[in-house]
Amino acid sequence: MKFKKALMGLTAAVATVALAACSAPGAPSTGASAPAGGGGGAAAAKTLKLAHNQTETHPTHVALKEMAAALNTETKGALGVEISPNSTLGNQAEYLQMVKTGAIDMAIVSSSQLVGLNPDYAVLSLPGNWTSIDQQMTVLNDPAVTGTLYKSTEKDKVTVVGGITQGARSMYSKKGAIKTAADLAGQKIRVQEDPMFLAMITAMGATPTPMAFSEVYTALQSGVIDGAENNEISYFTQKHYEVAKYFTSTRHLIGVDYLVINTDVLNGMTADQKSAFDKVWKAAYAKHLALWKTETEKAITETKAKGAEYSEIDPSVFKTALTGVAAQFTKTDSAKALYDSITKAAAAVK
């Protein structure tokens, strides 16, 4: 997608059509439908542009679409949201730049992008942090724990609204099930463009290959990589099972995505609009969390029916490697303080 930057000046609808025509055969659609507009069909006085990289059936899109409709209703048509899914506006690193400059208003990015603005974001995605996604979401959306962190990027005009789960991430490969560390050794595994993920895959004995999410299908298909790591829902919705059929439930970490908004756009809202925004966001992440559970089950069933082979692995196989990575990314005073604060809050949730 070399021409992504050139697309930034075009309307989202044109971008959607242009890129849909260029999608790789067999790869997930890059935007078969026009961006989902604001709620209730009524045109809003101000439309906020939001980009993400998931399909329209993914919990993220479904929850955000509901949020868009609710925001329009709650603000009586003052604010709408136009959603561009499927990486049609580029990749997550580009979204963050676009939110910074105001080219778009909001985006879903992974912790892997936010570490570029504040390395402490790595702490929230470390292996071993969370015992469940419910616990993770309670802590991540508790302003007493994450409020200061979420505002720490405002000098770059980026405010983090809150987190949504990426679920437990596991390993999948073209080569076969991973039963022992030797099975993974030397395999080229795609990672997000992020030092923590690079260190983790290296510690697990594989060779990390960083690339954007939208490039993974083709890279697996052509053999540029042997495997990748992600949750069951992305494995299904991105159709990675077609080109890497061995899914091993390593559950090496529970990751986080964030809704980010341009700080000036947020500060430009009236007090009523801000409270409406807060309300619809809370409903959106609750919806996302509920959908996550049902859609994970569905993804497993559907991918198995299409030939994917799932296997379990003894958690002790990568335990030392993963503990070492967590220690490596909690060394600075601020990382340590954040780590202590989230582990304390997590223990209180159970």
Q: Which residues bind ligand GCU (CB under 6 A)?
A: 53, 92, 110, 166, 192, 213, 230, 234, 257
* Closer Cβ to ligand GCU, 257 or 295, answer by number: 257
Select 187 or 230, whichever has its Cβ closest to ligand GCU.
230
CB of 164 to ligand GCU, least distance (A): 8
Which helix (H) or strand (E) element contains residue 87?
none
Nearer to ligand GCU (CB atom), residue 84 or residue 192:
192
> Cβ(276)–Cβ(68) under 8 Å?
no
**Secondary structure element (H or E) that encloses residue 110, with its range:** strand 106-110
Beta-bridged to residue 36, according to DSSP, are 83
Closest CA to 127 of 258, 317, 310: 317
Residue 105 C-beta: closest distance to ligand GCU, Å: 18
214: nearest Cα among 94, 93, 87, 55: 87
Which residue lies nearer to ligand GCU by CB, 92 or 129?
Answer: 92
Measured CA to CA, the distance from residue 108 to residue 85 in angstroms comes to: 10
Q: State which residue, 75 or 112, has the beta carbon closest to ligand GCU.
A: 112
Between residues 173 and 230, which has the closer beta carbon with respect to ligand GCU? 230
Nearest to 96 by CA among 105, 85, 84, 88: 105
Pairing relationship of beta strands 158-173 and 188-191 according to DSSP bridges: unpaired
Of 53 and 86, the one with the shorter C-beta distance to ligand GCU is 53
Which run of H or of E encompasses 13? helix 12-20
Minimal CA–CA distance to 76: which of 278, 261, 272, 279? 272
The burial class, CB within 10 Å (0-12 / 13-18 / 19+), for 251 is: middle
Q: How far is the CB of 9 from ligand GCU (least distance, A)?
A: 24
**Tokens 């582990």, residue located:** 343
Give the CB-nearest residue to ligand GCU: 213
Q: How far is the CB of 228 from ligand GCU (least distance, A)?
A: 7
Which amino acid is residue 343, in one-letter code?
Answer: T
CB of 40 or CB of 116, closer to ligand GCU:
116
Q: Where are the beta strands (DSSP E) in 15-97?
A: 46-51, 79-84
Q: What are the start-end ranges of the H helices in 185-318?
A: 195-203, 216-222, 232-237, 263-267, 271-305
- For residue 257, the minimal CB distance to ligand GCU (Å) is 4
| Closest approach of ligand GCU to the CB of residue 72, in Å | 25
